[in-house]
Chains A and B, each alone.
Chain A
Amino acid sequence: MKALFALIHRDLMIASRIGGGAELGVVFFLTLTAIVPFAIGPDQNLLGRLAPAVLWIAALLSTLFGLDRLFQADEEEGVLDQFLLSDTPLELIVLAKCIAHWLTTGLVLSLAAPLLGLMLNLPVEAMLPLVATLLVGTPAITLIGAVGAAVTVSLRRGGLLMAILVLPLAVPTLVFGVAAANAAIVGPTPFGTPFLLLLATSLVALVVCPLAAAAAIRLVRG
């Protein structure tokens, strides 16, 4: 447990020192949402209807942006070797890294989403549900992405490959996330059903992904 907190603290410290983590992710999120109205046009009703979907896709891409480096920096500097000698299981170390990653991306994106929603004419009553879906759904994206990052850890340019591997696996999260956020605006399905399914995908990812990522790291480096 002590190791878990030490590792989360370490990754947060590194993220704050070298930058490019939280700030860049949010700027990327902002850029993505800002270009959408240019493509769709000034139809405010249409924008408002599309807003949850646009914000969700932007959050998905912003979370994956840079996630390929999750283990790669540690691998290049030989820190991954030290993790393999740890008395803390690699699965927990992976989980610690995912938590730190989510704190610097998913959490920040979720909190920034309502502000960006204003640009897309997102109805006010949909803001809280949208934030809730992002808070619950982005951990799943980080965790699923970690598996892709683990598989591509030894590849120099693994970023694109990681995205190709991960995006199909993130579809259920996207579907339930957007469905729940939309339910709050248009109905007729209640908010609760897709939201609980979204929560379920995150919980499944929480259990399965650290195991899969740790197994992939051991396999790929062997």
Chain B
Amino acid sequence: MNTSLRLVVRDLACSRSERLLIQGLSFGLGQGEALMVTGPNGVGKTTLLRVLAGFIPHDAGKIILECAEQNASLAQSVHFVGHRDGLRAALTVRENLDLVPAVLGQSGASISDAATALNLKALLDLPVGILSAGQRRRTALARLLVSWRPVWLLDEPTAALDTASQAMVAALISAHIEGGGIVIAATHLDLGVKARELVVQSDGSHVMREASR
């Protein structure tokens, strides 16, 4: 897992329903680096993350994962946690997490370790359908641990979370960066993580701020 890895974005332009949201975006993130995407609602933060994950095509530019390993494609190196939790309501927390390594193909921490890290121990055998929004979000975030992937794409990872859980997420992100991962998160909240900041403005322009902390 310690092969040198770099996510490079060159001249990226993406649009949603004919509306150009972001253009001319270029950045590179090496191992141990994080990028926080901020900006008002509707400027395309979610779209950008979904483009990076490969769910929606981009109009121009390139997204490249530079990697010493030949066979690592971007789609198989990223984790995506978005507004829709990616959990089946009819299955329990444990069953949902059980499937993650099988579907994604990489294994990681055990379910009980991940559950401890996200304070899910008591919920493991409850169906996801009866959980609160915050509990569901924590379950979705536990995916990041049960299958190890270098790049985390997080869309509002702290949405619906209480203060204690927000700190938990910040700690997870810090640990992942220290472990040589790459994190790109769209957020309104200062997660207290040393990260570059990409501020997207309503007119489609963007500013990159260097890591401050």
A residues near B (Cβ < 8 Å) are 2-3, 6-7, 10, 13-14, 17-18, 73-74, 76-79, 81-88, 93, 221-222
> Are A17 and B91 within 8 A (Cβ)?
yes
Distance in Å from the Cβ of B100 to the closest Cβ of chain A? 8
- Interface contact A78-B85, CB-CB below 8 Å: yes
A-facing mask of B79-109, CB < 8 A → 1, else 0?
1101111111111000100111011111000
Beyond the given pairs A10-B95, A86-B103, 13 more chain A to chain B contacts, judged by CB atoms under 8 angstroms and listed by A's residue number, are A6-B103, A77-B84, A77-B85, A78-B82, A81-B80, A82-B104, A84-B53, A84-B75, A85-B53, A85-B76, A85-B80, A87-B76, A221-B55
A10-B88, A81-B84, A81-B86 given; A87·B56 CB < 8 A: no
A79, chain B: closest CB distance, angstroms: 5
Decide if the interface of chain B is mainly helix, strand, loop or mixed: loop
The answer to whether B91 and A13 have CB atoms under 8 Å apart is yes
Which residues in B have some Cβ–Cβ distance to A below 8 Å? 53-57, 75-76, 78-80, 82-91, 95, 98-100, 102-106, 127, 143
| CB contact between A221 and one of B56, B91, B102 (< 8 Å): that residue | B56
Q: Once bound together, how far apart are the Cα atoms of A82 and B105, in whole Å?
A: 11
Q: What residues of A have a CB within 8 angstroms of the CB of B105 in the complex?
A: 3, 86-88
Contact B103 A83 (CB under 8 A): yes
User: Which residue from B55, B88, B95 sits with its C-beta under 8 Å from A84?
Assistant: B55
What would be 26 A-B contacts, judged by CB atoms less than 8 Å apart? A3-B102, A3-B103, A10-B88, A10-B91, A10-B99, A17-B91, A73-B88, A77-B86, A77-B88, A78-B83, A81-B53, A81-B80, A82-B80, A82-B86, A82-B104, A82-B143, A83-B103, A84-B53, A85-B53, A85-B76, A85-B78, A85-B104, A86-B76, A87-B76, A221-B55, A222-B56
